Structure 1
Amino acid sequence: MGMAETALTTLSDYIPIVHRRRVLVTALFCALCAILGLPLVTQGGVYVFQLVDWFFGTFTVIIIGITECVVLAWVYGADKFGDDIQMMIGRRPPLFMKLLWCFVTPAFLVILLVATLLQYQPPTYGDYYYGLGGNVFGWFVATVSFVPIPVVAVYQLYHARGTLLQRLRQTTRPGEKWGPADVNQRRLYQKELLRRQPRSGCYDIVCR
């Protein structure tokens, strides 16, 4: 449900008709996912499920988690994210949450990724070995869901203007449309941004 909600929210943010027809789109999306999942409930579906879970449930999830922690806490800024949470729910997250975002969680995920790579074994299911074709398909599944992240990052960096450093600054800062969907709330949010320090992230915790 969490993955479905993430995908539907992304679509509704970029496609207005999805937001207006949210119930219908949600039903169609869930029906499509159910149809795509039918091969997994066939007699040989457990072998496909094991192969997908072997790669996607380990490497891809960990790498995406590390990327999310770095972008959220270090690129966007843990303090900025805390301000956004305060705007939405009325209170700031405690300090230990920042420590988790900035240090504990990414460090744990990196250690977990290294340990997973060092202990990697070709996929098996009982006495069945998938062979070269299964390994190739598994690595394809593992990378296809993560590759769009660096691809889009390089695309945005390529189409930005200025020197490489200026492009990095442009592509790692919120755009003009970043903020609440309501126009009045967005104006208040943008005014609040002007009063913030230009940089506010995990290094503030280290320097304090």
Structure 2
Amino acid sequence: MEAVMTSVIDLFPVVLRKAGRREILLLVFCLTCFFGQLIMVTEGGMYVFQLFDYYACNGACVLFLSVFESLAMGWIFGAERMFDIIEDMTKSRPNYIFMLCWKYLTPLVSLVSFISSMVEYQPLTFNRWYVYPDWAYALGWLLALSSILLVPGWALGRMCAGKGSLKQRWCHLCSSDTELPLTSKQLAVMKETAFTAEMDDLVRTDTEEHENGL
């Protein structure tokens, strides 16, 4: 729950980081979860709980999101940048195997597992004998799609709201934020570049003065 709260606050920092706003959001979130789950403690609550557990919280939804999360972290944000950030925080560089996992192994395994779970899908039954009605299966798939469709839905919304050609909007969508804090490695490179540029200017100035003096 703390992770959800942090994500919502990070999405709307100007509104939710004011005094008292976080507490109000937490109260609304807890009350919504409380009243939404009251039905699960009724006599037929186990049927509802299993419907949520099988569709909304199953491995296929998590694996689908994991594919895009690992791709975003390994390729868009950049595994190299993640290495630099970890090195800044821990003063030690992670093993190279982590980069291979972030960029290749994790998205590949997650994608294969997701496809396998879809191929081997079996309709939900309760205690192996009760078959849910068709509307319950439709509700279950709506619950599953509510999390799965967030990724393409958000990407489509950003594409429509962007400016420029379709290719420019796609490239902008697949690039990391340019306003992220710089790592120590990036700062060192910038200082070295600035120092080199200053030395080149000094050498050029001295050369021009020498030529003018001659």
Normalising to structure 1: TM-score of the pair?
0.76
- Measured against aligned partners, the alpha-carbon deviations of 1:37-74 in whole angstroms (never above 9, x if no partner) come to 21122211111111121122132111111111111112
Q: State the distance in 2 between where 1:130 and 1:194 align.
A: 62
- Measured against aligned partners, the alpha-carbon deviations of 1:9-53 in whole angstroms (never above 9, x if no partner) come to 122221345334345543442343222221122211111111121
Q: Which amino acid aligns with 1:155?
A: G
Change (3 A) 1:193 1:47: farther
| More contact order relative to length (CA 8 Å, sep ≥ 6) | 1
Larger Rg: 2
- Secondary structure of residue in 2 paired with 1:99: helix
Aligned counterpart, 2:16 = 18
Aligned counterpart, 2:186 = 192
Q: Does 1:132 align with 2:129?
A: no
Q: Which amino acid aligns with 2:153?
A: V
Q: Does 1:45 align with 2:45?
A: yes
The 5-angstrom pairing of residues 25-174 of structure 1 reads: 25-56=25-56, 57-126=58-127, 127-174=129-176
Q: Which 5+ residue runs of structure 2 have no aligned equivalent?
A: 191-214
Q: State the distance in 2 between where 1:8 and 1:86 align.
A: 28
Query: Aligned-pair distance for 1:142?
Result: 0.2
Normalising to structure 2: TM-score of the pair?
0.74
Q: Which amino acid aligns with 1:102?
A: K
CA RMSD of aligned residues (A): 2.6
Q: Which 5+ residue runs of structure 1 have no aligned equivalent?
A: 180-185, 197-208
Q: Which amino acid aligns with 1:9?
A: T
Query: Aligned-pair distance for 1:89?
Result: 4.4
Number of residue equivalences: 185
Query: Aligned-pair distance for 1:117?
Result: 1.5
